[in-house]
Amino acid sequence: MNLENIFAPTYKLDVKPNQAKHWIVIGAGGNGGYLIPNLLRQISLQNKMLEISKKPLHQVTIIDADEVEHKNLTRQNFIPQDVNRNKAEVMASRYGRAFGTEVTYISEYLDSEAMLKDIIREGSLPPVVIGAVDNNKTRAIIHNVFKITRGMFWLDAGNEEWAGQVVLGYNAQRDFQEGNRDKHVFNLPSVADIYPEILEATDKLPTELSCAERAVSNPQNIFTNQLAATLMMGFANTILTSNEGLTQHAIAFNSQNMSFTTTLNKGENLIPKPKQEEPVAEVEVKKVAKKVAKKKKEETTS
C-alpha cells in the first residue's frame, strides 16, 4: 500500500465555469449521439445566465461526415426518419432547436491538424474538444493540436463492447500554479499521455477507408455507449458549472460488471508533478509519532 499516495492531497483544477468556451464535438454516432442532447441542454441553461450577465456565450460545433444508416438505429440515438441524413446535421438541428441553442455542424471528417486549428481559431473562445471517435489516427491529430494550444480541454471516450475509459486532459502550458480558495492551475494528462500506444496506431482515418472497410463495425453495446456518454457529460458538467473545481481526470469502467476506477488529481498522476517540500506520507507519519509521544508523556506524568 502506497501511504504517500493515500495521504497526498487531491488538487482542484480551476475550470473557470463563468467563462464561455467553444465546445467542439468530433463524432455524432455511438458516444457522441448520446452526449450531445444533455450537453446542449446544460449549455442552453448556462448561456441564459451568461446572457443576463452580458458575457460571451458558449459556442458549439459538431463534426461528422457519416450519414445515418438503418443499422445505426439499433444502437445509436437516431430514428427512422434520420436515415440518409448527415449525423452532425441531425444532432445540431434537432437538439439545437429543442434547447434554443445555436449549433454549427460540419459534415466532414476531421482529417488534419490544420482543420482543427482553423475551427478553434474561428471560435475565438477557450476550446473544449470532445473526441467521440473510434479511431486512433483522429486522436493523434487532436493530440498534436492539444500539445500546442494553451487553455485547451480534451475530453475523450474510448470503449469496446463492455469496457472503456473517459479521460479529460487540460493544457495549461505552465507548471503547477497556486490559486485562490484551494483551486489551482495545472496540466491534466490527456488520453495520449495515459495510453501513449494510441499514437502508434496503424488504423486509418475515416477518409482513408474503403466502402467495404466502413461497413465493418466493431462490436458495441448500447448501454456501454450510454455509460461512456454519461461519464463524459459528468466532466462537461463540472467544466460548465463547478465553482469547486475538478478533482479527477480519468475514469475506467466496465458496463457488464458495473465497475469504475477513478484517477484523482494527485501529484503522482499529474504532468509535471507539483513540487512538495516534504513527502506527504512522511509528514503524516511524523504527526502520528508526535501524538503517540504526547500520549506517553501524559500517561507518565499522571
As given in the structure block, the three cell numbers for residue 251 are 475514469
60 touches 46 (CB < 8 A):
no
Please tell me the chain's helix, strand, coil percentages from 3-state DSSP, rounded to the nearest 5.
45, 20, 35
Q: Tally Cβ neighbours within 10 Å of residue 154.
A: 26
Q: Is 37 helix (H, G, I), strand (E, B) or coil?
A: helix
Domains annotated for the chain, with CATH where assigned, are 9-275 (3.40.50.720)
DSSP string of 128-142, one letter each residue: EEEE--S-HHHHHHH
What does the pLDDT look like over 62-71, one tens digit per residue? Answer: 999 999 999 9
Q: Which pLDDT belongs to residue 220? A: 78
Question: With the C-alpha atoms ordered 283, 284, 290, 294, is the resulting torsion angle positive or negative?
Answer: positive
Long-range CB contacts for residues 193-200, cutoff 8 Å, separation at least 24: 193/169, 193/271, 194/167, 194/250, 194/263, 195/165, 198/136, 198/139, 198/140, 199/136, 199/139, 199/140, 199/143
Q: Which pLDDT belongs to residue 280? A: 46
Q: At what angle do helices 113-123 and 136-146 cross, to 10 degrees?
A: 50
Q: Which pLDDT belongs to residue 2? A: 59
- Rounded CA separation 144/23 (Å): 18
As given in the structure block, the three cell numbers for residue 61 are 460545433
Q: Which pLDDT belongs to residue 200? A: 87
CA 24 to chain centre: 11
**E-strand stretches of the chain:** 12-13, 22-26, 59-63, 103-106, 127-131, 152-159, 163-171, 183-184, 248-254, 259-264
Q: Which pLDDT belongs to residue 215? A: 44
Largest pairwise CA distance in the chain: 86
- pTM metric for this prediction: 0.85
Residues 6+ apart with CB under 8 A from 54: none
Listed residue (115, 121, 165, 166) closest to 144, CA to CA: 115
As given in the structure block, the three cell numbers for residue 289 are 509519532
pLDDT along the chain (302 residues), means of 10: 68 95 97 98 98 97 97 95 98 98 97 97 95 94 97 96 97 73 84 94 65 54 96 98 96 97 92 58 55 67 60
